[in-house]
Amino acid sequence: MKKIIADILLLAATAALSSCVVDKGGNHNLNTYRLREAAGFLVDRTTVASVFAINQMVLDGRDINAEGFTGRAGEGILFVRTDQDCWEVTGGNEYVEFTLTLLREPGADGYDSWICRDLQCLHDEKGSGCAKMAGDGDIVFEWITQTNATQVNSRLEQSGVYRVDFYADQRAAARTDWCTLTYTAGVLSFDSSLGSPHDVFFYE
């Protein structure tokens, strides 16, 4: 059931991204919801996917700091170690192409922080529009712990700013729309060329 729900959400997000770039008639009939869904989809397929993939490698006991380490994950993501606690990450699949530098800050308590730097991402509809995303500074993923009377929950949440520009095609100089996503410990604030809706709480 969880997989079915995940597949449905993926299809919905993909549709939102495609319709957000430009429709088949060349019209840019957008709204703030579609812009946010499209941009959030790019975030999920780049930094979020990369951090969760390499964190899983750590949990699986892989020596990601070994000399010459390379690792592959789903979504066509490749990790190449370039220095201690530093990897160059590239991703390429039917949805996005992206590059970023990933750094780890080991935590004394065993909870590592991850930093995504120099993010560049492209989603191309091959003649029907494209979206380009970049990180505005570092995107930092840190563990947040919440406790209550019965349990303790820890999860990775991000803080940082993404800027996404939408174009009719890759060669276009003028963008058709833009949006900015600002995460603060997992809480998303959104602004765009079409306005700024209220803050949206976003959790995995």
Burial class (CB in 10 A: 0-12, 13-18, 19+), 204: exposed
Question: What's the average model confidence in pLDDT over 31-59?
Answer: 92
| Close Cβ partners of 157 (under 8 Å, ≥ 6 residues apart) | 141, 142, 143, 144, 183, 185, 186, 203
Which of 177, 179, 175, 184 lies closest to 203, judged by CA? 184
- Summarize the confidence of residues 145-149 as an average pLDDT: 81
Domain count, the chain: 1
- What is the 3 state secondary structure string of 144-155? EEEECCCCEEEE
**Per-residue pLDDT at 150:** 82
Parent domain of 169: 2-201
Average pLDDT of the segment spanning 137-141:
97
Q: Which two tokens stand for residue 202?
A: 């976003």
Asked if 159 and 142 touch (Cβ cutoff 8 Å), the reply is yes
Q: Alpha-carbon distance 97 to 88, whole Å?
A: 14
Please state whether the predicted TM-score (pTM) of the whole model is above 0.85: no
pLDDT of residue 177: 92
* Cβ-proximal residues to 76 (8 Å cutoff; 6+ apart), any chain: 91, 92, 93
Long-range contacts of 167-176 (CB under 8 A, 24+ apart): 167/129, 167/130, 167/131, 167/132, 168/22, 168/26, 168/129, 169/127, 169/129, 169/130, 170/122, 170/124, 170/130, 176/22, 176/28, 176/129
pLDDT of 29 reads: 52
pLDDT band at 30; cut points 50, 70, 90: low
Whether 49 has a pLDDT exceeding 90, the answer reads: yes
Q: What is the mean pLDDT of residues 83-95?
A: 95
- Percentage of the chain modeled with pLDDT above 70: 81
Mean pLDDT of the chain: 83
Name the percent of the chain lying above pLDDT 90: 56
| Rounded Cα–Cα distance for residues 27 and 10 (Å) | 24
Integer-rounded Cα radius of gyration of the chain: 18
pLDDT computed for residue 26 by the predictor = 39
The better pLDDT of the pair 12, 169 is held by: 169
